Structure 1
Amino acid sequence: MDRLTNTVRPYAWGSTTAIPEFLGVEPTGEPQAEVWMGAHPGAPSRLDRGAGVTTLSEVVAADPEGELGAATVAKFGPQLPFLLKLLAAGAPLSLQVHPDREQARAGFADEEARGVPVDAAHRNYKDANHKPEMICALTPFTGLCGFRPPLEAAELLAGLEVDSLKPYVDLLHAHPEDAALREVLTAVLTADRDEMAATVHEAAAAAERLGGPYAPYAPLAHHYPGDPGVIAAMLLNHVRLQPGEAMFLGAGVPHAYLDGLGVELMATSDNVLRCGLTPKHVDVPELLKVVRFEPGDPHVLRPEGDGEEVYEAPIDEFRLSRYVLAPGGAPVVVPAGAPQILLCTAGAPRAGELTLAPGESVFVPAAEKVELSGTGTIFRATVVL
């Protein structure tokens, strides 16, 4: 078992205070968006096994079966299939979707065949993997997830009383629902940019004046003035998570994180197709191939189980759970058999002989059992075999 040293990612949307406060360090004054825990080549965790500091990606590459276990390598290949993060949104992230595995493989192969550089700004597929993810709130957390029922979206847009939105309101009354949502999102993203910018400005002013259910949308226009994603966001469910609650984001589900601190767990991939709320490339035709136009209420997850509390998700590349260790409680044994990363989020619990503070994490190779003791909360990221 190895204590990890992890990289802070300073993306512009990050909070300047949430991660420093959580870690108990002084803010730098710069945004701190994510802390990465894993073997992703973009920022692999570092560890020291007595022969000097190395990266977790190098450790896994040197002995995949010894670190991950034979069953994990047989199912997912010789790499850690998940990435664990602390995520602190101080401003809205881009409105985005992720492809399923088949779409990712096809899209990646196509762009490779066409010679699109992997670091090109207009590249859609960085790898051939899908990117399901889960966010679990550590503080009150807000986001957008999945489409509202079209009639509900129509009522929201109509309430703004903006003339240029009326055609979208009419379209949302059409049937079937998936076709109505597709037509409206397509129209929003392909509208004349100047005309859409004027619509966004007028809609944001109305949202600020009306408040209530419109309150989340005026700030979007403040961060991304004139962006079509402000109108697209009104087609989606606005979700509020309380600490300990989570939501799972599968392939094709449009979503964005707006505000808050959470634990995020995802399959190891960089495949993102953006819908808006971003200055980055938006490939509308490719996006429309990936989006699933399925309205419905987002499913808020709460942990289930006694001892190990599991956040159930329909995915094998990762499994998220937590242990809440009460004062005077008996030690808990975390079973072996698969690679895992343990992250402390509260208190000063012990993992084996290591005492952890909030934000500290350890990597546990597949063959090792771990005893958890003391008082605090530990999140566990592993795989499903």
Structure 2
Amino acid sequence: MRILEGLVRPYAWGSRTAIASIQGRPVPSAHPEAELWFGSHPAGSARCVDESGPEQPLVDVISADPVSTLGPASTEAFGDRLPFLLKILAAEEPLSLQAHPSAEQAREGFERENARGLALDARDRNYRDPWHKPELMVATTPFDALAGFRDPHKTIELLRELQVSELDHYLGMLAGQPDSEGLRAVFTTWLTLPEAMIRRLVPAVLHGAVEVLAQGRTQFTAELRTLCELGEDYPNDPGVLASLLLNRVHLEPGQGLYLPAGNLHAYLRGTGVEIMANSDNVLRGGLTPKHIDVPELLRILDFTPVDPADLTPSVRTLGAEQIYLTPAPEFRLSRVELDGTGLRHASSICFDMPGPQILSVLSGAIEVRPVDGTPLTVPAGRALWITDSDPDVIVHAASSRTVFYRALVPVAVSSAGDAEAGGVAVGEHASAAVD
């Protein structure tokens, strides 16, 4: 059991306040801070920083004894690596339009690019490892995103409402085939248009959006405002047009969004806790200066229309723990709120699951007491690493209100014959549910 210091990723789209505020540092920060990584990803590992051992990267701690740290079930399923990456993500500006491959596509693509002799850090490399990358985002502030292709009939309504003559051809394509193949045809056409046509089409669409918004009579206000914002930042990018085909999703704090393989998406704005399979495979489709491989993106995309409700994970509440249920075998994420006063929520919770776990504190502080050992206090902005070989722990609120997120490997829990189990709340208000 070790305290973890996360790794801050200073991407340009990040916030100068969100992560610094969580960690109690002065705001604004000197540069944008986009993500705080708690994991052992090869591109950046969290560090063990407590006094129980030398300061060292978590990836080195795991590689020194993977079976003891990860447990036999996890190593058998995923090898000598932590199968998930836990992050705090803070987006002040939109991220790139992107999708992730399935497990089979990732393995095949990785082997194919290896055979071509592409270096792992090559700019035009699509597959940097043989793993898929399902991911779950849980909002901690109001959070906006584009996710999955919208019902084509609704998109037809949107395109007609714009009344842009330059869109008539594409509207006809979709109206003539209002299904996944029609979506594929329109999206493919837009991504492969000559730049000169994009330079004419995007401004015309933006002008139409401004006209509709000025009238104030549209059911697509959020979609059109997003279109205009993206057009201002990426005036000659076909990804601006692609946003017209996608669901505009808004999350309130505590709500989740699960993104399976092939789902085209872009986070727009907000702060949240994100967990994903430990992979770096991204196929981009626009809103970025980075490498875009259109044929490969089209090969892995799922054009099946999706209702945003189908991307919302179900939540199971066990005492003070809210568990977000997804089909991903690499991770399970839950939110825990404890009350140091004992008036509204449980003040403590006991964890006895096998496999590796990370507890990331978002507000307040926790005191973690192993059955036989010295307690550790973990403040907001840091996390706790618990190995498979560590004893059971009791987590106490070390402040009047504490919120932390718990990540574990469900295959390890399942192998122990307790796939549905979660934390057991203890104390007078053990049965209190999290808001």
TM band (smaller chain) = over 0.9
Tell whether the 8 Å contact from 1:91 to 1:223 is kept in structure 2 after alignment. Answer: no
Corresponding residue of 2:312: 300
Per-residue CA distance 1:213-246 (angstroms, 9 max, x = gap):
4111111111212110011011000000000001
- The alignment of Structure 1 onto Structure 2 pairs a total of residues equal to 385
> In structure 2, what is the equivalent of residue 38 of structure 1?
39
TM-score (norm 2): 0.86
- The Cα offsets for residues 173-218 of structure 1, whole Å up to 9 and x where unpaired, read as 1336111011001000001112112211222233234332411111
Superposition map of 1:1-385 within 5 A: 1-26=1-26, 27-48=28-49, 50-175=52-177, 177-211=179-213, 212-213=221-222, 214-298=224-308, 299-301=311-313, 303-307=315-319, 308-326=321-339, 327-328=341-342, 329-352=346-369, 353-368=375-390, 369-374=392-397, 375-385=401-411
AA partner of residue 146 (structure 2): L
Instruction: Give yes or no for contact 1:150–1:181 (8 Å, CA) kept in 2.
Output: yes
Query: How big is the alpha-carbon RMSD for the aligned residues of Structure 1 and Structure 2?
Result: 1.5
For the residue of structure 2 that corresponds to 1:173, the secondary structure is: helix
CA contact (8 A) 2:161 2:212 kept: no
Quote the Cα distance in structure 1 between the aligned partners of 2:288 and 2:315: 33
Contact 1:273 1:287 in 2 (8 A): yes
Cα offsets for 1:299-328 (capped at 9, x unmatched): 323532222211010111010012111331
Q: Deviations over 1:278-304 (max 9, x none)?
A: 111211111111000110212323532
Q: How far apart, CA to CA, are the structure 1 residues paired with 2:395 and 2:53?
A: 27
String of CA shifts for 1:36-91, please: whole Å, max 9, x gaps.
10010111011146442111000100000110111111111111000000001111
8 Å CA contact 2:15, 2:33 repeated in 1: yes
Structure-1 separation of matches of 2:211 and 2:86: 39
Q: In structure 1, how many angstroms separate the alpha carbons of the residues matched to 2:232 and 2:21? A: 26
CA drift at 1:336: 3.1
Q: Is the 8 A contact 2:359 2:384 kept in 1?
A: yes
Q: Deviations over 1:138-175 (max 9, x none)?
A: 00000011010112112212222222211111111133
8 Å Cα contact 1:324-1:377 kept in structure 2: yes
Distance 1:6 1:180 in 2: 44
Supply the distance in 2 between the matched residues of 1:351 and 1:255 (Cα, whole angstroms): 37
Structure 2 unaligned segments of length 5 or more: list them: 214-220, 370-374, 412-435
Q: Percent identity?
A: 44
Higher CA-based Rg: 2
The answer as to whether partners of 2:152 and 2:178 remain within 8 angstroms in 1 is: no
Gaps (5+ residues) in structure 1?
A: none
User: For residues 325 and 316 of structure 1, what CA distance do their matches in structure 2 show?
Assistant: 27
Q: Secondary structure at the match of 1:355?
A: strand
TM normalised by structure 1 equals: 0.96
SS at match of 1:151: helix
